[in-house]
Structure 1
Amino acid sequence: MSIQTRPSSTDLLLPRPGVNEQWDPHTIHTYYFGFSIPEARIGAFLYLRCQPAFPLSQGGVCIFRDTDNVEHTDIAFLDYEITMPWPSVEANRITTDNGLTIDFVEPGRAARLTYSSGDGAAALDIIAEAVTPLFARGHVMPGEEDHHGGDRTPGGSEQFMHVTGELWLDGERHAVDCYAPRDRSWNQVRVERRGAVEVPPVGWSPMYFGNDLIFNQISFEPGDTGPAWMGLYDVGDRPSHHFAWIQLGDEVRSIRRVRRNVLEYHPDIYLPMRQEVEAEDERGEFYRFRGEAIACASLPAWPNASFHDSVYRWEDSQGRVTHATYQEIWFDKYQKAMKRGRVATARFAQI
């Protein structure tokens, strides 16, 4: 599978139904940006989700710190609204009702994000500049592919960015200088109906070690690792990943196999706290990474699922270290099983 790219114009795709058109109410357009400040154990989740059938939007700014964030309201700063008007769009600038601004100063290449809370508790001003092409991604959540086709072509993209700027949190200034992914979706039908998608927890682990090694995958834990989901889902013989790639300098390769092995789970929110990732690319070359969460949180992006973000410290097989987001999502069957303690194989970290 070759990795394609998207035109820069897709950054500004926010279509809405025409007169007398009726769209699936689960149709969404999304924007995600993030950053981390490892020395302060801080992660940021900046998100906009538009629902054009209504039209409504949701999103905002979530700043989390350390690993003891069990509830959404535990995090360092939360301004996330589930119901907002359609965002304001002026030229290349998109602004939400709660004040998050995404300004594509150069679509496909650079964006400036700004925000300031009304009470002075948090503000940010960052520039995200591309260090990879704008890669095409068909879908990110399992089940979306069942709704592809029809009059409105769905799509997605993702790109690694060099993120610099400033975060002000509770009166303290933090410099931002990291490498972080951004992604988006458009015209995807992401069904929220109960039981619509039967899948184990799905984890996204982008990593940037330098221009010579950039890795990205989204997968569930394969059965041969003894995952905590074993016995809850029947995944058949399908691959554990549904999207993955690696960039080595100017060369981009697809990934044909991913084996993600979780060593420890968070005792309260069940997010993987330590894990290993092994990947094999299209040419048969292998890559191995070990990671540990230094900050994590439950976040409110998906009310029908348990969604978590984290700052992971990753190490490659040569001992190089990087930090990036690790995100995971699962549904209530898994959450209840973990809470009941029926999963005997689960390995819990000491937090």
Structure 2
Amino acid sequence: MAMNTHPPETDLVLPQPADGEQWDPHTIHTHYFGFSIPEAQIGAFLYVRYQPFFPLSQGGVCVFQGTDNVEIQDMAFVDYEMTMPWPEVDTSTNTITTANGLRIEFLELGRVARITYASGDGACEIDVTQTAVTPLLARGHVMPGEEQHHDPAKDTGGSEQFMHCVGTLKLRGEEYAIDCHAPRDRSWRQVRVEKHGAVPVPPVGWSPMYFGEDLIFNQISFEPLDTDPAWKGLFEVGDRPSHHYAWVVVDGETREIVRVRRNVLEYHPDIYLPMRQEVEAEDDTGRIYRFTGEAVAAASLPAWPNTSFHDSVYRWEDEQGRVAHATYQELWFDTYQQAMKHRARATAGA
């Protein structure tokens, strides 16, 4: 089954309420870009979250190295502001610039973007150009249940695309070459409710992978009950599928994923992020895919502070032994965090 795509112009869809028009205060638009330098155990999270009701924004640059980043300030570099003015948007040059200097320039809408940033103290400079290797695939909401809060009269949307990233990172006196494949994604006019208890779901994990033009995989899911997940007993998920969005590109053909089974083998002892896991998936032709992965970098992130949100760089292997490095992100709410904390305390005291 062919997946839907969005036109290139959606890269700059950033509507704001008209005079007298009432929008939900939780309405957001986003732009996410990232990259990894796996040989140095480095990952980067580059993000803008627009809040058009106010209108304000948040976002910036997070660069993390290694797996011992427990607190946000443990990361190698952070410049993430929670409250900024609406970014400068120049439609004549297709650029978006935040108040803290993160600049997104679409050299070709829907296909090529250059992301630049330089901190005032010289500690971090980024210049990376990302070129699409997949179509601009359409996606809906990110969190299960989120769609219940959307206004059906409003034009909401989202997109995902794998990119080939080439550039440089200067980090605290060291210069690193960037040459990787990484996903980008964005949302527009989605209602992402932050009210306490509004989204009672298990931890949700995003695992994009690029092995080559013949195999590109992506899924968002929670761990199914038959894997004896750490969330067992905390949430009722019924008989719904464990994934709510997934696709694979095989030899240039985009296919829908109809089943995902993600089995976590090891959790981080301090931040509880999965550090080793297996993924099995089936596409709409019946083909089965199996991947094993391990985190080489991991961090807690400041984005979405009403949740526990984490990014990582994962080393994935397919059944042929081919290796891919990419972000693995996971998000959960307080019910799970509290349960994991109490279990860790009980284990430490045993």
> TM-score with structure 1 length normalisation?
0.97
User: Secondary structure in 2 aligned to 1:303?
Assistant: coil
Of the three residues 101, 104, 116, the one matched with 2:103 is 101
Q: Map 1:270-309 to 2 at 5 A.
A: 270-309=272-311
Which residue of 1 is the match for residue 81 of structure 2?
81
User: Secondary structure in 2 aligned to 1:193?
Assistant: coil
Contact 1:36 1:325 in 2 (8 A): yes
User: What CA distance in whole angstroms lies between the structure 1 residues aligned with 2:314 and 2:344?
Assistant: 27
Aligned-residue sequence identity (percent) comes to 72
Which residue of 1 is the match for residue 22 of structure 2?
22
Deviations 1:168-215 (A, max 9, x none): 000110000000000000000000000000000000000000000000
Deviations 1:233-274 (A, max 9, x none): 010000000000000122111011000000000000000000
Which residue of 2 is the match for residue 124 of structure 1?
126
Of the three residues 334, 340, 343, the one matched with 2:342 is 340
Q: Map 1:179-258 to 2 at 5 A.
A: 179-258=181-260
Contact 1:337 1:343 in 2 (8 A): no
TM-fit CA distance, 1:158: 0.3
Letter in 2 for 1:279: A
1:175 to 1:290, Cα distance in 2 relative to 1, 3 A? same
TM-fit CA distance, 1:2: 4.2
Letter in 1 for 2:215: L
Letter in 2 for 1:15: P
Of the three residues 313, 316, 319, the one matched with 2:315 is 313
Which residue of 2 is the match for residue 51 of structure 1?
51
TM-fit CA distance, 1:151: 2.9
Contact 1:143 1:190 in 2 (8 A): no
TM-fit CA distance, 1:343: 11
User: What CA distance in whole angstroms lies between the structure 2 residues aligned with 1:19 and 1:90?
Assistant: 22
> TM-score with structure 2 length normalisation?
0.97
Deviations 1:63-107 (A, max 9, x none): 000000001010000000000000001120000000000001100
User: What CA distance in whole angstroms lies between the structure 2 residues aligned with 1:148 and 1:89?
Assistant: 25
User: What CA distance in whole angstroms lies between the structure 1 residues aligned with 2:335 and 2:179?
Assistant: 39
User: What CA distance in whole angstroms lies between the structure 2 residues aligned with 1:204 and 1:45?
Assistant: 14
User: Secondary structure in 1 aligned to 2:241?
Assistant: coil
User: Secondary structure in 2 aligned to 1:283?
Assistant: coil
> Unpaired segments of 5 or more residues in structure 2?
none
Letter in 1 for 2:60: G
Which residue of 1 is the match for residue 158 of structure 2?
156
Structure 1, 135-144 or 50-59: larger mean CA deviation: 135-144
User: Secondary structure in 1 aligned to 2:226?
Assistant: helix
User: Secondary structure in 2 aligned to 1:293?
Assistant: strand
Say how many residue pairs are matched.
346
Letter in 2 for 1:337: A
TM-fit CA distance, 1:22: 1.4
Which residue of 2 is the match for residue 31 of structure 1?
31
Deviations 1:131-150 (A, max 9, x none): 00000001112222112343
